[in-house]
């Protein structure tokens, strides 16, 4: 699978209402502009960021994971985004990638947003995870992870940095600059999906979901309205970019937890 047809789902999320959000996202998928290999939802797409308080706990056998498996089977595609999962009494902001074979790949958010109190509610992940989808090697990241480039440094082990977020309007210039920097320094595709609308704390999210090429070109920059946009990523462009300017050979070595 050299070409990856990707559906960017820049959605408006309802606060603390998983059932309504799943119904709405299902409608967006049904109205999507064409067949896709991978659909990407924002961070915490069933509740909004920190919108899980006072809601029933959900684990990997819960309704959201079952729904993702169902959508992956229905559309014969990958379905991805982050949700709040409780496991062994611990709460995680967990990125999930469901594939048509029924499998779920997962990554727990490493950098919790202490400024917003996320570290008081959730447990940080400890593993840098790489996922596989066809020929594509994917490095998943969640929102605040974007500010920590060592964590997502490419070691010639991924082709796509896949980032989901609830990134507020007041710092949206950082979002754009950091996402573009991650593409340039890692010579990988970057897909960065943000939400739109206002949450239960009055925080406003302006969209600006991005697709950036391995050379740093902004291929798509979605405006502030809810939108599903279909784009095709070329795997050959990753290899060609790295061969044309092979600076990765001079990169510093980092040890990961």
Query: Rounded CA gap, 115 and 106, in Å?
Result: 25
pLDDT in tens, 129-165: 999 999 999 999 999 999 999 999 999 999 999 999 9
What CATH number belongs to 3-250?
3.60.110.10
- d(C-alpha 63, C-alpha 61), whole Å: 7
Q: Do residues 102 and 130 lie in contact, with contact meaning Cβ atoms separated by under 8 Å?
A: no
Provide the edge-to-edge strand list for the sheet that holds 131-133. 131-133, 136-142, 160-164, 189-193, 210-212, 218-221
Active site residues: 43, 109, 143
Residues 23, 30: Cα–Cα separation, whole Å: 11
User: How far apart are alpha carbons 248 and 251 in whole angstroms?
Assistant: 5
On the CB side of 108, CA atoms within 13 Å amount to: 14
State the pairing for strand pair 196-198/227-234: unpaired
Backbone angles phi, psi at 136, to 5 degrees: -90, 130
Confidence class for position 252, pLDDT limits 50, 70, 90: confident
Could you report the per-residue pLDDT of 166-198, keeping only the tens digit for each?
999 999 999 999 999 999 999 999 999 999 999
The tens digit of pLDDT for each residue in 56-104 reads 999 999 999 999 999 999 999 999 999 999 999 999 999 999 999 999 9
What's the pTM?
0.97
Element (H, E) at 204: strand 204-206
Length of the chain: 257
pLDDT grade for 3, boundaries at 50, 70 and 90: very high
Structure tokens at 164: 């989901």
> Dihedral (C-alpha) 146, 147, 150, 152: value to the nearest 10 degrees?
0
What's the rounded Cα separation, in Å, for the pair 137 and 131?
A: 6
What gap in Å lies between CA 254 and CA 257, rounded to an integer? 10
């Amino acid at each position: 699978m050299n070409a990856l047809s990707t559906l960017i789902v820049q959605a408006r999320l309802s606060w603390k209402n998983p059932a309504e959000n799943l119904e709405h996202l299902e409608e967006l998928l049904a109205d999507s502009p064409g067949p896709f290999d991978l659909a990407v939802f924002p961070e915490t797409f069933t509740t909004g960021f920190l919108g899980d308080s006072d809601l029933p706990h959900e684990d990997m056998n819960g309704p959201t994971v079952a729904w993702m498996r169902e959508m992956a089977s229905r559309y014969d595609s990958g379905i991805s985004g982050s949700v709040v999962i409780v496991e062994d009494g611990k709460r995680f902001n967990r990125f999930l990638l469901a594939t048509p074979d029924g499998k779920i790949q997962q990554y727990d958010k490493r950098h919790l947003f202490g400024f917003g109190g996320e570290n008081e509610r959730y447990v940080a992940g400890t593993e840098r995870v790489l996922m596989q989808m066809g020929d594509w090697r994917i490095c998943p990241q969640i929102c605040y992870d974007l500010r920590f480039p060592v964590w997502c440094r490419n070691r010639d082990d991924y082709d796509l940095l896949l980032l989901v977020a609830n990134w507020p309007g007041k710092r949206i210039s950082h979002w754009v600059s950091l996402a573009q920097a991650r593409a340039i320094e890692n010579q990988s595709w970057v897909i960065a999906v943000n939400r739109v609308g206002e949450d239960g704390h009055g925080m406003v999210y302006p969209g600006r979901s991005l697709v950036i090429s391995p050379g740093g070109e902004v291929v798509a920059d979605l405006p502030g309205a809810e939108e599903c946009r279909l784009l095709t990523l070329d795997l050959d462009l990753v290899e060609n970019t790295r061969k044309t300017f092979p600076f990765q050979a001079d990169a510093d070595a980092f040890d990961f937890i």
